[in-house]
Structure 1
Amino acid sequence: MFRSRLSRRAVAFGAIALAIGAIGGLPSMASAEDVIRIGAPLPITGPLAPEAIKQKQGYDLWAAQANKAGGISVGGKKYRVEIVYVDYQSNTPRAVQATEQLITQDHVNFLFGAFGSGAAKAASTVSERYKVPTLAATASSSQVYDQGYKYLFGTFTPNDTLTTPLTKIVKAQAPDVKKVAILARNDLFPLAIAQEMEKSAKANGIEVVFFDKYAIGTLDHSATLSQIKSLSPQWIFITGYTNDLLLARKQMVDQQIKAPVVTMIAGPAYQEFIDALGPSAENVSSAAWWHPAEQYDGKDIFGKTSEFVKLFREKYNSEPDYGQASAALCGALFQLAIEQAGSIDRDKVRDALAKMDVVTFFGPVKFGANGQINSLDPPVFQIQSGKPVVVFPQAIKQGDLKLGVN
């Protein structure tokens, strides 16, 4: 089997984190009928491992809180939560296999989607076939939700909800920005958001002087960055995952490539990005689907946004970012849907998700007819003095966009 020993199984009971490495897993602390099992295919090893760690943190925090409260209420009975993890090693075909395994061999009740838009879309063909409600924590591309599926739901708004406000901010605060260069990882989400950036730029009168893709696993961007430098764009926009963007930013510094506006999605949302780059992260802008500065009074298990942030800090000794928060939200939404349905019947829980209209610690949650959330205004932010500072929306604005990078 492709499943690594590292990630064969993780079980979340109460605040106790059981080891992932035991072959065959460990015996449950409750009988099977008292447990709700949620499958979580994740790229725990391979280049996407940093992102997988974040999702796992969010899932585990929710499970710990749910079990600390006695479990999920289902028709007057409490069910404890068990999360079953499978490592698909940052390989999309293996994500599909992992999803099938979780359904047919591990007999999970529900599913968290695979990481990212590409793997989530591929794996959803399996969960849809078996009619297993699936909440995708990190899939924003509209191509994930254009399949007419009934059992797939996602907690990220479409990509243009990030690029449109970002472009409007740049146009308003940096009117001399006339040219943008766009470089995208050739993967569903990074490429889709780059394409939305291209549309947003053109719609706002900004010339796209460069648009190119780099292959997954690229270890050197220097030649492409040199080409971008020769075009003298006032805005450089690069998409990818954490390791991709760290490499690109370091090579920009090596070549002394500067521009009034440098945007990277989605690495700057992560503290690891800031820590790894130090001063080179300064003034890099980005956008994400959530920020700790938000202030919602939710009806979910976490309640206020500040309470979620507090619990996360206590458990992980760090500030939560949008990936961890979205993963925790997926667990909280399953809990709300199950309790509202009064059942763990998959169709009843699916219907409860489809009808959901609730305020959570993450923000208001309502799914469109295609299963994608359509009720949020994602924050735009910039690294300033070593911290992400929100510049949009106005309700949680912490500062204005600054021009120039080190």
Structure 2
Amino acid sequence: MVMEMTFKKRLAVTAVTMGMAMAGSVGLASADDDVLVIGAPLALTGGLADEGKKQQDVWKLWLEKINAAGGIDVAGKKMQVKFVEYDYQTDGKRAGQLAEKLITDDEVDVIMAPFGSGHTKIIAAVAERYQVPMLACVASSVSVYDQGFKYLFGTLAPNTGMTESMVEFFKEKNPELKKVAVYGRDDVFPKSMATALANSAESGGLDVVYNELYAVGTMDHSAAISAIKSANPDWVYMTGYTQDLILGRKQLADMGVNTPIVTMVTGPAYREYTEGVGELADGVTSSTWWHHSTAYTNAVGAWSTTADFYADFTAAYKSDPDYVSASCAAAADVLVNAVQVAGSKDKQAVRDALAATDILTFYGPIDFGDNGMNQGREMPIIQVQGEEIKVLYPASIADAEMKMIK
């Protein structure tokens, strides 16, 4: 009781129901067979607020689509859908506590994971303990999925394939590429990407002349950037979250680091990044899991084509959706499909249906492997050119040639 009162005093609490009406923290009984209750601890304030807001926005859009159809069809009847969301303020410990509150107090049927591999891993342990199915739409580090969790499923493909294709592609586009500097945030996803890139670069015959991590919360990268400049790389690869990468790009420019290739993962995938650095975004490359130029049709879920999702999203938010928005919307579609296959909200039946999932969504194919991760596929390499995001790879959806930074 004391902990619950503390949450009510200290946390911004949102309950999102059909119609997206806002209310206080309310119990939504899962015992009602006609209502599917989805719990979502989100980082709506703090360092990951930009990312958390993306998840909240796209689930609002998705729920409006579900509302328009009168709910979802399950075992011959309509089932309503409700979201219960709590702001965990980008605090991992609080995220775990709120996940438990959603399960024990709000009696949710399933958990949607927040942004990032680190916080997803924390919440997955809670969901596993209570045997509640959990969908992660923005966690791609294998280290989250190698814990033996049976109730965790992720819509992003493993991040390891990204770095191998990027090294090969960049070597093809710049035959003079010899040296790479790797600089990553010491956090689950960014660290795994930095490690994977360094390994892929070495395997690809490149010289890794700098390979260091920076602490979470670092507000000055000048010492590291000075060392990078001294190493004279042809390619700078930096990982982190939006605010890290905005600061890093500005300091690279301020300190005169001029390399033909600057990659920031996953910087240009976010509008907030390109707006935050302005002209300095031009030429910056990144990798992502999805781009709206993909043309999937005959898809399962709220949107039958990629184009339909893109049209609804841009009409609602006046900006292009990125992979976070697409993956999280697809995760909701995957959940509904599992409930429909199971014919009920029974947690074990839904979990088993998720494990057997092999469907096409507007976001792309979803086929969970033995560890719960979506299977690997070719993932786009993108670049900011002028004020637009262009797809460089794979060739099937490429709409521009790579440009070197001058």
Give the structure-1-normalised TM-score: 0.95
Q: CA deviation at 1:85?
A: 0.6
Cα gap change, 1:383 to 1:166, in 2 (>3 Å): same
Amino acid at match of 1:79: M
Provide the C-alpha distance between the structure 2 equivalents of 1:4 and 1:288, rounded to a whole number of angstroms: 38
Contact preservation (8 Å) 1:357, 1:366: yes
In the alignment, is the contact (CA less than 8 A) between 1:239 and 1:245 conserved in 2?
yes
Alignment of 1:209-358 (within 5 A): 209-297=209-297, 298-358=299-359
In 2, Cα distance between the equivalents of 1:3 and 1:57?
A: 23
Deviations 1:144-166, CA, capped at 9 Å, x for gaps: 01011111000111111211111
SS in 1 for 2:304: coil
1:288-337 CA distance string (max 9 Å, x none): 10001110011222110000011111221211000011111111110111
Is 1:190 the counterpart of 2:220 in the alignment? no
> 1:3 and 1:218 mapped to 2: Cα distance?
31
Out of 6, 9, 21, which is 1:18 matched to? 21
Offset at residue 122 of structure 1 (A): 1.4
Residue ranges of structure 2 left out of the alignment (5+ in a row):
1-5
Counterpart CA distance in 1 for 2:391 and 2:24 is 45
Q: Partner letter of residue 287 of structure 1? A: S
Shifted more, 54-63 versus 164-173: the winner is 54-63
* Rounded Cα–Cα distance in structure 2 between residues aligned with 1:391 and 1:175: 17
Correspondence 1:2-401 to 2 at 5 A: 2=7, 7-13=12-18, 16-19=19-22, 22-25=23-26, 32-297=32-297, 298-401=299-402
What is the DSSP-based 3-state SS (H/G/I as helix, E as strand, rest coil) of the residue aligned with 1:138? coil
One-letter amino acid matched to 2:285: S
Partners of 1:3 and 1:306 lie apart in 2 by 41
Distance in structure 2 (CA, Å) of the matches to 1:260 and 1:133? 45
The equivalent of 2:3 in structure 1 is: none
Deviates more, 1:229-238 or 1:269-278: 269-278
Q: Which amino acid aligns with 1:18?
A: A
Residues 72 and 335 in structure 1, CA contact (< 8 A), matched pair in contact too: yes
CA–CA separation in structure 2 for the residues paired with 1:401 and 1:103: 48
- AA aligned opposite 1:47: G
- Aligned in 2, Cα 1:4/1:62: closer, same or farther, shift over 3 Å? farther
Residues 248-285 of structure 1, C-alpha deviation per residue, up to 9 Å, x if partnerless? 11111111211011000012101121122221000100
| CA offsets 1:113-143 (integer angstroms, 9 cap, x no match) | 1321011111111101111111001100000
SS in 2 for 1:396: coil
Alpha-carbon separation, structure 1, partners of 2:331 and 2:341: 15
8 Å Cα contact 2:27/2:107 also seen in 1: no
Distance in 2, Cα, partners of 1:3 & 1:264: 38
- 1:274 match: secondary structure: helix
Structure 1's 270 and 369: CA in aligned 2 closer, same or farther, altered over 3 A?
A: same
Call closer, same or farther: CA 1:75–1:33 in 2, change over 3 Å: same
Secondary structure at the residue paired with 1:399? coil
CA distance in 1, matches of 2:67, 2:37: 13
* Contact 2:154/2:372, CA 8 A, preserved across alignment: yes
Identical amino acids, percent of aligned pairs: 43
- Of stretches 195-204 and 396-405 in structure 1, the one that deviates more from structure 2 is 396-405
Q: Deviations over 1:34-63 (max 9, x none)?
A: 211100011111111011011111222212
SS of 2:401's equivalent in the other structure is coil
Structure 1 portions without partners, runs of 5+ = none
SS of 2:384's equivalent?
strand
Against the structure 1 CA distance between its residues 375 and 300, is the aligned structure 2 distance closer, same or farther, given a 3 Å change threshold? farther
Q: Is the 8 A contact 2:153 2:373 kept in 1?
A: yes
CA deviation string 1:216-275 (max 9, x = no partner): 111111111111111110000000000110011111111121101100001210112112
In 1, Cα distance between the equivalents of 2:10 and 2:388? 37
Q: Return the offset for 1:26.
A: 9.6
- Whether the 8 Å contact between 1:180 and 1:237 is mirrored in structure 2 is yes
**8 Å Cα contact 1:109/1:344 also seen in 2:** yes
SS at match of 2:229: helix
Q: How far did 1:9 drift?
A: 2.0
Report SS of the residue matched to 1:9.
strand
The one-letter amino acid paired with 1:323 is: V
SS at match of 2:257: coil
| Contact 2:55/2:324, CA 8 A, preserved across alignment | yes
For the residues of structure 2 that align with 1:377 and 1:260, how far apart are their CA atoms?
Answer: 24
In structure 2, C-alpha distance between the alignment counterparts of 1:257 and 1:84, rounded to whole Å: 46
Distance 1:332 1:97, change over 3 A: same
SS in 2 for 1:108: coil
Decide whether aligned partners of structure 1 residues 27 and 125 sit closer, same or farther in structure 2, where only a CA change above 3 A counts: closer
CA distance in 1, matches of 2:389, 2:26: 39
Would you say the 8 A contact 2:28–2:37 is kept in 1?
A: no
How many angstroms apart in 1 are the aligned matches of 2:171 and 2:17?
Answer: 47
